[in-house]
Structure 1
Amino acid sequence: MMPAVQPPPPVPVFSDSSAAGITDGSPMTRTYRAWKGSNVFFLQGRLIFGPDVKSIFLTVFLIVAPVAAFCAFVARKLLDDFPHQSGWSIMVIVIALTVFVLIVLLLTSGRDPGIVPRNAHPPEPDDDYGSSRIDSGQIPRLRLPRTKDVIVNGITLKIKYCDTCKLYRPPRCSHCSVCDNCVERFDHHCPWVGQCIGLRNYRFYFMFVSSATLLCLYIHGFCWVYIRRIMDSEGISIWKAMIKTPASIALIIYSFICVWFVGGLTAFHTYLISTNESTYENFRYRYDRQQVNPFNKGILKNFKEIFCSSIPPSKNNFRSKVPKDPSSPSSRVGDGPVGPMMRKTMGDLELGTGKAYSEADEEGSDYKGGFSNSEELSKGGELADSSLDLGITIPKQDVEVHDASYIMHSHWERRSRMGDIGPEVLDGPQAGELTKTAS
């Protein structure tokens, strides 16, 4: 008798979602894990740094090492040279000042500088822009106007569209090529703190450079006091006294060099605060009599705005859960991403002037463009919540955009006029071939 043949097991039927490995609920992840910028996160998204976060360790070493040498070789020798145990105050003050410098350094580098969240999709073109293209007999192209006009305190400014973040940048906002984010009131990217300096951490950055200047002056001054004490106690010349304390000589030279660096930054940013400018604006726009700074409110109000106004809350919740994006991070339009090595360095002032994408109008000034009437901002000069409420300036000449979708659309437009293909081709498999040809 032939053995019975076992029937094959039934083939399970999968739905579309199960075949794709997706359960009923979409897979979720933390925002900081799906972040498309170049930032580095610590403590599960509670601290955010730039990609050059390792430079902070060098900065901390350059602060702590000379302070430790000062306490060991100078302040310790001065403890008994002052009456009523007041010599201890020298060491207490230098330690307290050092702790304060390190705290404001962490507040500068470890917080959101004012990152503008990216849009998942580009904003829809305004009806006026699309209808004007149709009325003129042209087929609307798949791109947005490169700039829009807004009025701040009676002065017309141009805001630009960011292809990377898919949004129109608010006034004083710029895209940092190092961190790959649009930052509100962008000042510069400082490699010494490993973070962009913007709306939410500029106050702490100024406190960092100013307190570091005071620390250098404090160490420099008491090193000379110690040399004077040696001269008076032993009755020798200043040169012989300096030979007896080589640590003081090293600290004097080191603090003198640092004072020129951080002291120069303190003086420069004091001037910027008094005129309500950012480093980026000062180096790029250079306000003069012909071009008025629309944000200048007077010296007292400018300082009050920086130090006495409340810091706006972050627009990003890095610990919130968002749907997991299986696709790779979005790339820039043009020649590809710009890495940290492509930036221009001006000492401590990393202006972030490297282009984050290829666009012709980026070379022009936001303020030097044409003046036209558009929607007015509020009296405080703040931009409305929705970027689509801004007025549109239609460029006189079309700017070439190196985008695969734009090239594909232009290619279809030329062939459709010749009668080769119809509109339905763009929904078929030929669309992929056109995209490959365009790329």
Structure 2
Amino acid sequence: MAQRVYQVWKGKNKFLLKGRLIFGPDASSLIVTLMLILIPVIIFCTFVARNLIKEFAAQTAGYAVYLVAIIFTIQVLVLLLLTSARDPGIVPRSPHPPEDVSGYDSSASVEVGGAQSLQLPRTKEVFVNGLPVRIKYCETCMIYRPPRCSHCSVCDNCVERFDHHCPWVGQCIGKRNYRCFFLFVSSSALLCVFVFSMSALYMKFLINDYGTVWEAVKVSPASMVLMGYCFVLFWFVGGLTGFHTYLITTNQTTYENFRYRAQNSINVYDRGCGNNFAEVFCRRRESSKINFHGLENEELSKPPKGSIPAMPIGNPDETRRVKVEHSLEMGNDLLNISQWHDSQEAADIRTRATGG
């Protein structure tokens, strides 16, 4: 009987609903994240928002505070689920090393444990927007990683546009869930600001009623605890929001920023602030390259999505083209598709620059 892909997947992911939900191996950390969100909100609604209804007895503002807190919390939880339970952009593994490699001497081999093993080049050079970019061969997934792809040591998968592995959501942050991750972090920061502001407002009402801060704190210690908690937490989620806003404006990932910061090299992916924002927030989310719920045999027999007949690779001055057949290995298909896409973008940019 054929097995489902999620049942035989070699990564360290955890699956629910027969592969429809995919988590990282540290998905249990989600419990901590949920508690950090839900417990303060429950305290706020019980000891602050309910009393603000009394303070605004002649108005509906008190109920609005209650409603906004609940809506904000639901939004944060939904974004958390979409970030942590979604395929971040995992690249399919290849069942064996690529055989058709440009510039590769198939006769070269190295003896490993008494057996002959083909020695593949560690890196290849592709062009992105007319500039050379080196991509690496992944020995675990047995593919040449597409540009901006990296192998996550926690999940044991190659992930497209890999940003980082976030232990707070128990998932890699990559091409398919980065938008939801940013919205989750920024919404959490706004929730902190809202709870802090409303708690401070309630404290002001109590100070006016009882005359001193100490008396107000004795009446509502929960308000002071929430203010302190939100103040500390805002430095974390607010700082993350600011940092990732900077990354979006410059079209970088966390991985690229920390690894290549000291090199002062040109960012070949930066297309201007407006286009960079549009790329993250306006571009349609691509479908997953792997159907984890599907049957293993069906997935292996299907050709990669978006395969094309031919495309240029390597130096643009060279006239050689590599023909991509349906029988090519999965790793080479992914690489060639990525190269074709990048070369098309480069051609579009040059056409616009010349006014054509």
| TM-score class, shorter | 0.7 to 0.9
Task: State the TM-score, normalized to the length of structure 1.
Answer: 0.66
C-alpha displacement at 1:85, in angstroms? 2.4
Gaps of 5+ in 2: 110-115, 299-313, 319-330, 340-356
Match status 1:387 vs 2:335 = yes
Q: AA paired with 2:154?
A: V
Instruction: Render the CA deviation track for 1:83-109: whole Å, top value 9, x for unaligned.
Output: 322210000000000000000000000
C-alpha displacement at 1:231, in angstroms? 1.6
Contact residue 108 and residue 119 of structure 2 kept, 8 A: no
Instruction: Render the CA deviation track for 1:211-267: whole Å, top value 9, x for unaligned.
Output: 000001111111110111112223x12232123211111111111110001011000
Q: What is the aligned-residue identity percentage?
A: 52
Counterpart among 220, 238, 246 of residue 271 in structure 1? 246
Q: AA paired with 1:321?
A: L
C-alpha displacement at 1:65, in angstroms? 0.2
* 1:298 matched residue in structure 2: 272
Counterpart among 156, 165, 168 of residue 144 in structure 2? 168
2-structure distance, mates of 1:111, 1:374: 37
Counterpart among 61, 67, 81 of residue 92 in structure 1? 67
Gaps of 5+ in 1: 1-26, 135-139, 325-371, 377-382, 392-439
2-structure distance, mates of 1:301, 1:390: 20
C-alpha displacement at 1:389, in angstroms? 8.1
SS of residue matched to 1:175: strand
Q: AA paired with 1:163?
A: E
Contact residue 216 and residue 256 of structure 1 kept, 8 A: yes
* 2:206 matched residue in structure 1: 230
Instruction: Render the CA deviation track for 1:5-35: whole Å, top value 9, x for unaligned.
Output: xxxxxxxxxxxxxxxxxxxxxx410000010
Cα 1:166–1:274 change in 2 (3 A) is same
SS of residue matched to 2:105: helix
Cα 1:389–1:315 change in 2 (3 A) is closer
2-structure distance, mates of 1:272, 1:133: 42
* 2:307 matched residue in structure 1: none
Contact residue 150 and residue 375 of structure 1 kept, 8 A: no
* 2:256 matched residue in structure 1: 281
Task: State the TM-score, normalized to the length of structure 2.
Answer: 0.81
Contact residue 150 and residue 374 of structure 1 kept, 8 A: no
Match status 1:57 vs 2:31 = yes
1-structure distance, mates of 2:67, 2:203: 20
Counterpart among 168, 193, 197 of residue 192 in structure 1? 168
Bigger helix fraction: 2
Match status 1:373 vs 2:325 = no
Counterpart among 209, 212, 232 of residue 185 in structure 2? 209
C-alpha displacement at 1:286, in angstroms? 1.3
* 1:36 matched residue in structure 2: 10
Contact residue 93 and residue 141 of structure 2 kept, 8 A: yes
C-alpha displacement at 1:154, in angstroms? 1.8
* 1:220 matched residue in structure 2: 196
The CA RMSD over aligned residues, in Å, is 2.4
Contact residue 89 and residue 175 of structure 2 kept, 8 A: yes
* 1:110 matched residue in structure 2: 85
Contact residue 50 and residue 195 of structure 1 kept, 8 A: yes
Instruction: Render the CA deviation track for 1:320-344: whole Å, top value 9, x for unaligned.
Output: 11149xxxxxxxxxxxxxxxxxxxx
* 2:296 matched residue in structure 1: 322
SS of residue matched to 1:41: strand
C-alpha displacement at 1:388, in angstroms? 5.7
Contact residue 4 and residue 294 of structure 2 kept, 8 A: yes
Q: AA paired with 2:94?
A: N
**Worse overlay, 81-90 or 92-101:** 81-90
Contact residue 52 and residue 202 of structure 2 kept, 8 A: yes
SS of residue matched to 1:317: coil
C-alpha displacement at 1:46, in angstroms? 0.7
What is the aligned length? 305
Contact residue 104 and residue 204 of structure 1 kept, 8 A: yes
Match status 1:252 vs 2:253 = no
Contact residue 143 and residue 332 of structure 2 kept, 8 A: no
Q: AA paired with 1:258?
A: L
Cα 1:241–1:159 change in 2 (3 A) is same
1-structure distance, mates of 2:19, 2:43: 36
SS of residue matched to 2:285: coil
Match status 1:308 vs 2:282 = yes
Contact residue 16 and residue 22 of structure 2 kept, 8 A: yes
* 1:70 matched residue in structure 2: 44
Cα 1:163–1:248 change in 2 (3 A) is same
1-structure distance, mates of 2:296, 2:315: 40
Cα 1:223–1:129 change in 2 (3 A) is same
Q: AA paired with 2:59?
A: H
Cα 1:390–1:185 change in 2 (3 A) is closer
2-structure distance, mates of 1:264, 1:384: 39
2-structure distance, mates of 1:44, 1:32: 7
1-structure distance, mates of 2:16, 2:37: 23
